[in-house]
Structure 1
Amino acid sequence: MTVRDTGAGAAPEIRVENDIVVHDLTGISHLSRELMRTLYKQRVHRAGMSPKMVAIIASDVLTVDFEVQIYASNPLVQASTTAVAVIGDSFMLQHLTSMFLSYHAPAYPVRLFSHYDDAMQWLSGGNPVSSDDEIVGDR
């Protein structure tokens, strides 16, 4: 088994909280373009095409396909996204988020948070950034 095989059976969960789309990727260690397409389709189905703030709980993510970066910068995805909060505290997630923004920074702000509540407050307009949180992109 490779590191990409871990968590292969986990399924993402989606919910909408206070007009914020929350993708819970708990148990998912690898992000593929197909998974991102599925998340986007779920989001549009659940919340419509109007621009939304998105929270991604990604504490178990270890690897990301390069195509995910390109997909997240797609004009349709960008037009329907106002901000993204990535939630998790691993070094790997920090590295992956930083790499994404270095090569394919989207037009919307992206921040990495260690705590769910801080991320949701930022997306709601409270803009907290504690010492545990990292601003990895803010356009």
Structure 2
Amino acid sequence: MSNGVQHKILGDKVALYRRPNSSRWHCSASIKGKQYRSSTKEESLKAAKDVAQDWYMELLNKDRFGELSSGKTFREAAKKFEIEYEVITNGRRSPKWVQGHKDRLRLHLLPFLGSKPLKEITSGVGQEYWTCFGLVESI
């Protein structure tokens, strides 16, 4: 995870570190036994500390109101789908057809939905996806 340089803030609740070959600081923290990580997008340690503190406080607030994401993500489900789709369509769909589905997942759906927990993907999120790309007018 880090190249040895690590700083702890907020009573050792948040760790700041740099990844190898990166000039930017990242932060990590644990809430209720689950590890969270984020990039501060900062090169200065002082600025990174401020960003990490705000990030951690936001995590605590999300946890307090039950908004902290959990469960399998769309990315995990998509990976499983790719494997299973190839198996269940074997002999009935061409490899080009199967690759088309994989490409659409990779190019269009994963960038938008990849990190979202499955239980949070609703018809509203689908509408947001379509309006985000100008495919449907916003209601």
- Fold shared, TM-score > 0.5 on shorter chain: no
Shorter chain as denominator, the TM-score bin is: under 0.3
Greater strand share, structure number: 1
Question: Which has the higher Rg, Structure 1 or Structure 2?
Answer: 2
Greater helix share, structure number: 2
Q: Which has the higher contact order (CA 8 A, sep 6+)?
A: 1
